[in-house]
Amino acid sequence: MKISVQDKYTTQTFKAADSSRLINVLQNLRKTNPENIKMTDIFIKEISKNSEIAEKPVAKYLCKGSSAFVFDTPDGKILKLTLGNHFPMNRPAESFDVPVYEHIKSGKVHCYLEEKLYQHGLSDGFVEIVKENIRKKGYRTYDIYDGDINQIGISKDGKLYLLDPECAKYKTIFHALFGKIKKLILRHFAAVF
């Protein structure tokens, strides 16, 4: 899921009180964003089944990825809708990932409420720091290149994070299976002790 920061719809805001509900914003996007009708229709269909997601307040549509829409919320967070889990092969959230405050699922659509990060003032060197953090955790970097500051952000407290979880993947299928088994064993021992 590569986030496009030069999306021609990034300045679209919603002023009517009723249209700030996520479901209304998606219906409006369906009319004004014909390139993404299929994905928008899937989001509308799936979140219509879950009022908790459908009623989420949205202030602005920011951008889209290959399988995601990203919105600003009135309380200064990011709401991300994705087709499927945005962590590749359901890998766990890691310390280099944007903090997720809430995760709700409706059918094949996932809704993530995340910390809002900033990209102002970031340079090429910060990308290498994030890539090194990914490697230290045992993952391989994917679709994040030298100087690719569009894939990273910085929090208010100065921590660097990866914006697109698809950029950190298991090295092999074996690593993914080993990670899942390790997680199950640790969960079992935590319950016993």
Q: What share of the chain is helix, strand, coil (3-state, %, to 5)?
A: 40, 25, 40
Q: Which pLDDT tens digit goes with each residue over 89-105? A: 778 888 999 999 999 99
pLDDT at site 43: 92
> 176 pLDDT exceeds 50?
yes
Q: Which pLDDT tens digit goes with each residue over 9-33? A: 344 444 444 348 999 999 988 888 7
37 contacts: CB under 8 Å, gap ≥ 6: 30
The domains located in the chain, with CATH, are 18-114 (3.30.200), 124-187 (no CATH)
With cut-offs at 50, 70 and 90, classify the pLDDT of residue 174: low
Q: What is the per-residue burial (b if ≥16 Cβ within 10 Å, else e) of 98-127?
A: bebeeeeebeebbbbbbbebeeeebeeebb
Give percent of the chain with pLDDT exceeding 70: 82
With cut-offs at 50, 70 and 90, classify the pLDDT of residue 3: very low
Give percent of the chain with pLDDT exceeding 90: 32
